[in-house]
Structure 1
Amino acid sequence: MLLNHASIQTLHSFCLDLIRKYYYIVNVDPDFRLMDTIESTILRDEVIETLLEGEYAKSDNTPFFHLIESITDDRSDQNVIDIISRLYDFSRANPSPEKWLEQVTLLYKNDKLERIKDLPFYNLIHNDIRLSIERAIEFLQQGLDLTAISGGPESYRENFLEDITEIDKLRSKLNSDWSELQTAFQQVSFGRLKPLKNKEEVDERLLKQAKKKRDQAKKVIQDTLSDWFKRAEQDYIADLEKMKNDVETLINLVQKFSKAFFQEKEKSGVLDFNDLEHLALAILSDNGRPSHVAQELRNYYKEILIDEYQDTNLVQESILQQIVLPDEAKGNLFMVGDVKQSIYRFRLAEPTLFMEKYERYQLDGKDTVFEFEFS
């Protein structure tokens, strides 16, 4: 009988209703219109182009021209446009976009840096290397297991044992100086496979699988060597020093774009889905604490039931945390989701270090690392 009084809606619809009711708190036009994705893309492209044209028009804009020369070619500025857009999107996935952008520049302000291990994000590098070593050992262990199966290549058993011992030495060097760890990786070698005994008794399928596992282990070690240890430690540190000004200039461009993009949307009386989330959070949060509106909603909602929870991002999670009861034992939040469909997003103490193939995160200072591989 009371079902029609329940607020059954998407989270964006909830945000939309909240903004229309409390528009005066965030100073937006109550008659705003929600943009679709195509309209938003066209507008943001126009704003970025206008921003870059303005930067080119400045005669004494040396930092900007250095950035352009560093990351674009002679044909177009598409690289810098893409990077600005990606950084903007990533920052908007955080509850405090401006704070996140400012933290990025802090990662490059290391005037007294002498060792890679002194980097503020070295734990991410360390975890990447550690996981690579463990992955290689896991592949080798799987190959070793295949040699013990009936019909398996038993002659390769000694090879796998030697390889595991070799890679395990790397694990023992993880906490050594960078140069020592680098030398250990450079000295890794995989010996020739032993000749097969009783070849006619060996299952060809198991033989191929064993070779594949060893090749996978080799590739992991070779990729790690290529990613991290091809150059001297001081060269990497010098690169970071050279990048500092370019990163600061890039972040400044993202901040200018973010401001100009929102101003253009205000002029047109439109908002996008990102705006809905951040404006709703601004209404519900007062310097990080639940606002009076959030307190009213806490008293209003008896239960908060979230479906498809695996698709919520960090901003949406922050919105929910403002309106649920804070005591988890007596809380009123119930979530349903499918971990197999999860889009993993985590609250980071510092910005993520991006790599070509993987992303690593350390959560809350704990040695808990998540790995993501992209196709």
Structure 2
Amino acid sequence: MSNNWTPDQLNAIQARGGSLLVSAAAGSGKTAVLVERVIGRILDDNPPVDIDRLLVVTFSKASAAEMRSRVAKRIRERLKVTPDDPHLLRQQMLLDTARISTIHSFCYELVRQNFAQLGLSHDVRIGDQQELNLLQRGALQDVLARRYAAQDDSGFLDLVELVSSSRNDREMEKLVDKLYGFLRSHPFYHQWIEEKRAYYDPSVPIEQTEWGKIIMEYTADGLAYAQGLMSAAIDMMDEPMAASYASTYTSELHSLISASETAQRGNWDQLRKALDDITFVRLPSLRGYTDENRKSFVSGCRSKVKDLIGDLREKRLCASAQQHSEDVAFLAPRISALF
């Protein structure tokens, strides 16, 4: 065995007597660890296990082939040391029939061997992607047709009206397809659905919603950044510029500070009002001022602050808490129909 294993890798290789879940990033040596674990089970354990008693599944044919090749190489390396070992020779012989394959191949073989018990035809096969896409779309259209036929399914009809055009249901189909594809890749999709459904509770104040928390935090960070810009602009002013600009910039800085303090209190509507209270008056002209670099920096800082505050007002906190509650109440039955 290699002497270069990390403690976690060594634990993954040697752990016995229970379930083991290994999570690691790409390129971190998962395949090498799994190969060493397989070798340990078939060669080092007492008693050892025949390799055809193990099930090793991967997500791609290339990974399965690589796994089989690496196990074969490790067996050959052991045979060079003890070429007449009957157990090693047996593992080498059994390797060709070992269940090292993609998860799709394993499931197909399981179905093929038990087609009668499953009530399937003996010539069952894995469909190609084009066939599967057609079957999936047909199934989706059947589901939509049944939902249309349900006279009391107002949430579904409202959902269709929200996402589809008047001509067809293609947008609705695309939405369901996308959601279905995501959920298939999620290990606990029922839990995920319930968590997302719970987001659409109109009784929850917007400050306590997931998106409300994110927006409030984003706004607080934005206001802190705006204060920094305005302070930098004030610090950059020389006497001639300060005589014309300092009082205006200082007043606007105080408004930013006040809005930041409001953001820390965590009240959505109060923060909206604090943002609305930030005003930017027209600056007096600087006649005869020649330091264009300084002037550009100072005015540029203020322009960035104005743009940032405008963004917060118009795109982040663009609705009141009451409007948010009404929107959530509007969406809740539609989201339930989608899930």
- Select which of 222, 229, 253 maps to 1:164: 253
> Structure 2 length normalisation: TM-score?
0.54
CA distance in 2, matches of 1:32, 1:220: 58
Q: For residue 77 of structure 1, what is the aligned residue in structure 2?
A: 169
Residue of structure 2 equivalent to 1:195: 285
Q: How many pairs are equivalent?
A: 238
Higher relative contact order (CA 8 A, sep 6+): 1
Question: For the residues of structure 1 that align with 2:127 and 2:227, how far apart are their CA atoms?
Answer: 54
Q: Residue 243 of structure 1 is aligned with which of 331, 334, 337?
A: 331
Q: Is the 8 A contact 1:108 1:243 kept in 2?
A: yes
Contact 2:223–2:259 at 8 Å: present in 1 too? no
Structure 1 contact 141–164 (Cα < 8 Å) conserved = no
Write the mapping of 1:131-150 to structure 2, written as runs, cut at 5 A: 131-139=218-226, 141-142=228-229, 144-145=231-232, 148=235
In 2, Cα distance between equivalents of 1:240 and 1:101: 16
- The 1:132/1:217 distance shift into structure 2, 3 A limit, reads farther
Native 8 Å contact 2:226 2:308 kept in 1: no
Q: Secondary structure at the match of 1:75?
A: coil
SS of the aligned residue for 1:195 comes to coil
Offset, 1:249: 0.3
Going from structure 1 to structure 2, the CA distance change for 1:103 and 1:160 (only over 3 Å counts) comes to: same
> Which has the higher Rg, Structure 1 or Structure 2?
2
- Tell whether 2:134 aligns with 1:87: no
Q: Measure how far apart 1:165 and its partner are.
A: 2.2
What does 1:288-303 correspond to in 2, within 5 Å? none
The structure whose residues are more often strand, as a share, is 1
Higher helix content, 1 or 2: 2
- Say yes or no: does 1:103 pair with 2:190: no
What is residue 356 of structure 1 aligned with on the other side?
A: none
- 1:65-106 Cα shifts (integer Å, max 9, x gaps): 122123333233233233323333443453212221122222
Q: CA offsets, 1:148-182, max 9 Å, x none?
A: 5599x954555444333212211211225433223
**Counterpart among 84, 107, 120 of residue 23 in structure 1:** 107
SS in 2 for 1:17: strand
Task: Write the distance in 2 (CA, Å) between the matches of 1:188 and 1:32.
Answer: 67
- Say which of 303, 309, 316 aligns to 1:215: 303
Residues 238 and 142 of structure 1: is their aligned pair in 2 closer, same or farther, counting only changes over 3 Å? closer
Partner of 1:130: 217
Q: CA deviation at 1:235?
A: 3.1
* Separation in structure 2 between the aligned mates of residue 115 and residue 55 of structure 1, nearest angstrom: 32
CA gap 1:143/1:115 in 2 versus in 1, 3 angstroms: closer
C-alpha distance after superposition, 1:6-29 (max 9, x if no partner): 579xx73358935268639x9666
Q: Does 1:12 align with 2:59?
A: yes
Pair 1:18–1:190, CA change in 2 (3 A): same
In the alignment, does 2:231 pair up with 1:184? no
Please give the per-residue CA displacement for 1:218-271, whole angstroms capped at 9, x wherever unaligned.
2332232234544443332133223221110011xxxxxxxxxxxxxxxxxxxx
- Answer yes or no: is the 8 Å Cα contact 1:141–1:160 preserved in 2: no
Name the CA distance, whole Å, in 2 between partners of 1:220 and 1:17: 55
Instruction: State the distance in 2 between where 1:173 and 1:28 align.
Output: 63
Note the alpha carbon deviations across 1:325-347, whole angstroms, 9 max, x for none. xxxxxxxxxxxxxxxxxxxxxxx
TM-score by length of structure 1 reads 0.50
2:140 is aligned with what amino acid? I
Q: Which residue of 2 aligns with 1:313?
A: none
Does residue 234 in structure 1 map to residue 308 in structure 2? no
Check whether the contact 2:197–2:336 (CA below 8 A) recurs between aligned residues. yes
Q: Which 5+ residue runs of structure 2 have no aligned equivalent?
A: 3-30, 36-57, 65-99, 114-123
1:257-289 Cα deviation digits (max 9, x unpaired)? xxxxxxxxxxxxxxxxxxxxxxxxxxxxxxxxx
**Superposition RMSD in Å:** 4.2
Structure 1 Cα separation of the partners of residues 154 and 141 of structure 2 = 19
CA distance in structure 2 between the aligned counterparts of 1:12 and 1:159, rounded to whole angstroms: 63
Change (3 A) 1:27 1:143: farther
